[in-house]
């Protein structure tokens, strides 16, 4: 439906890159034409091109029970910086920190969707598996909520029998496989240089995840909120992409 591979044509007046840290006595001169000024305003130059900060507020996160963590006994020490405190032995996330991380993750997701990347959702919690699969279907992306075979990423060409294109982004709605183990795909994505976005709870390890989002990953309400947010971000990225492609077609 959406063309994945974006063919960029080389502009006739390619701008010479300004070597800001060069040891040359005088910097190279740049002649800026109108085309170069337009190309400089690419989505990557904006801190929030897709306006993802409008998608949610801290109150929405609170209402979806994102701030609830597990008990103190199952805390992973690496998650301690993301906590607000502990209430009667139950840990509470600091939603201001969560909001900042979530904005970065949504921004990244939207950019990946803008560039036509394949996004794969992961969730091994059977309570929310259907929600995640439905979300993936609605935004035209992929989900894997079943048993994960060992070499799907690391031995893809052999397992699928043909040259396989791996996802460009893995979104983990739950980074755990079961209570005891982390999902193998977290480690395998890191091995295959696939960026990951992951909702990390108090008992999860955020180390290997590129854009961790500290928050509740057990309540269906929270998972639904995350799914809706990621779906909106992906849709925004894709709409911007369609607009860009149409503009390109009109120009050529």
Partner 1 sequence: MSSWIAITRQLRQTKVMFSRNICRSNICHSENVDTNSADKVGGFAKAYEKQSHILDVESTPPPTFASLLRNSKLVDLGDPVGKIVVGKIFHVVEDDLYIDFGWKFHCVCPRPSIRAEDYVRGARVRIQIKDLELSSRFLGSSTDLTLLEADCKLLSLVSSPVKSSEKTT
* Beta carbons of 8 and 115 less than 8 angstroms apart: no
> Which residue blocks in 149-219 are alpha helix, DSSP H?
156-160, 184-191
62-81: contacts with partner 1 (CB under 8 A): 62, 65, 67-71, 73-76
Q: Does 164 help bind partner 1 (rule: CB under 8 A)?
A: no
Q: Is 90 in the site for partner 1 (CB under 8 A)?
A: yes
Member of 28, 37, 40, 58 binding partner 1 (CB under 8 A): 58
**How many residues belong to the site for partner 1 (CB under 8 A)?**
28
Query: Among 36, 94, 168, 239, which residue interacts with partner 1 (rule: CB under 8 A)?
Result: 94
Site string for partner 1, 200-219 (x = CB under 8 A): ---x------------x-xx
Q: Does 40 bind partner 1 (CB under 8 A)?
A: no
Which residues have a Cβ under 8 Å from the Cβ of 58 and sit 6 or more positions away? 95, 96, 99
Using CB under 8 A as the binding rule, the residues of this chain from 184 to 203 that contact partner 1 are: 203
Phi and psi at 50, nearest 5°, equal: -95, 10
Minimum distance of partner 1 from residue 228's CB (angstroms): 19
As measured in angstroms, the least distance from the Cβ of 83 to partner 1 is 12
Q: Which residues inside 95-154 make contact with partner 1, applying CB under 8 A?
A: 95-96
* CA-wise closest residue to 200 among 230, 226, 164, 229: 226
Q: Does 59 bind partner 1 (CB under 8 A)?
A: yes
For position 224 contacting partner 1 by CB under 8 A, the verdict is no
Half-sphere exposure of 212 (CA within 13 A, CB side): 19
Please calculate the CA angle 132-138-142 and round it to the nearest 5 degrees. Answer: 60
- Min dist. Cβ of residue 207 to partner 1 (A): 16
- Residue 181 interacting with partner 1 (CB under 8 A): no
CA dihedral 47, 51, 52, 53 (to 10 degrees): 90
Which residues, 6 or more positions from 139, have their beta carbon under 8 angstroms from its beta carbon?
230, 231, 234, 235, 238
- For residue 42, the number of C-alpha atoms closer than 13 Å in the C-beta half-sphere is 8
Which of 84, 86, 115, 235 is in the footprint of partner 1 by CB under 8 A? 84
CB of 139 to partner 1, least distance (A): 25
Distance of alpha carbon 192 from alpha carbon 102, whole angstroms: 24
Among 18, 19, 38, 87, the residue binding partner 1 under the rule CB under 8 A is: 87
Site residues (vs partner 1, CB under 8 A): 57-59, 62, 65, 67-71, 73-76, 84, 87-88, 90, 92, 94-96, 179-180, 203, 216, 218-219
């Amino acid at each position: 439906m959406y063309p994945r591979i974006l063919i960029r044509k080389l502009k006739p007046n390619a701008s010479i890159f300004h070597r800001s840290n060069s040891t040359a006595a005088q910097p190279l001169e740049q002649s800026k034409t109108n085309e170069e000024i337009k190309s400089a305003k690419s989505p990557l130059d904006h801190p929030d091109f897709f306006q993802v900060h409008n998608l949610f507020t801290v109150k929405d996160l609170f209402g979806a029970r994102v701030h609830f963590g597990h008990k103190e006994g199952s805390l992973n020490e690496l998650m301690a910086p993301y906590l607000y405190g502990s209430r009667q032995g139950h840990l509470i996330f600091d939603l201001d920190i969560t909001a900042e991380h979530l904005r970065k993750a949504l921004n990244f997701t939207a950019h990946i969707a803008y560039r036509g990347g394949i996004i794969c959702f992961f969730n091994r919690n059977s309570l929310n598996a259907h929600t995640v699969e439905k979300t993936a279907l609605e935004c035209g992306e992929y989900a894997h909520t079943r048993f994960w075979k060992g070499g799907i990423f690391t031995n893809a060409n052999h397992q699928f029998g043909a040259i396989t294109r791996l996802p460009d982004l893995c979104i983990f709605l739950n980074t755990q496989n079961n209570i005891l183990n982390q999902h193998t795909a977290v480690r395998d994505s890191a091995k295959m240089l696939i960026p990951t976005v992951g909702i990390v709870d108090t008992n999860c390890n955020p180390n290997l995840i590129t854009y961790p989002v500290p928050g509740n990953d057990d309540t269906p309400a929270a998972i639904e909120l995350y799914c809706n947010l990621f779906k909106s971000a992906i849709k925004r990225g894709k709409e911007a992409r369609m607009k860009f492609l149409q503009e390109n077609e009109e120009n050529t």
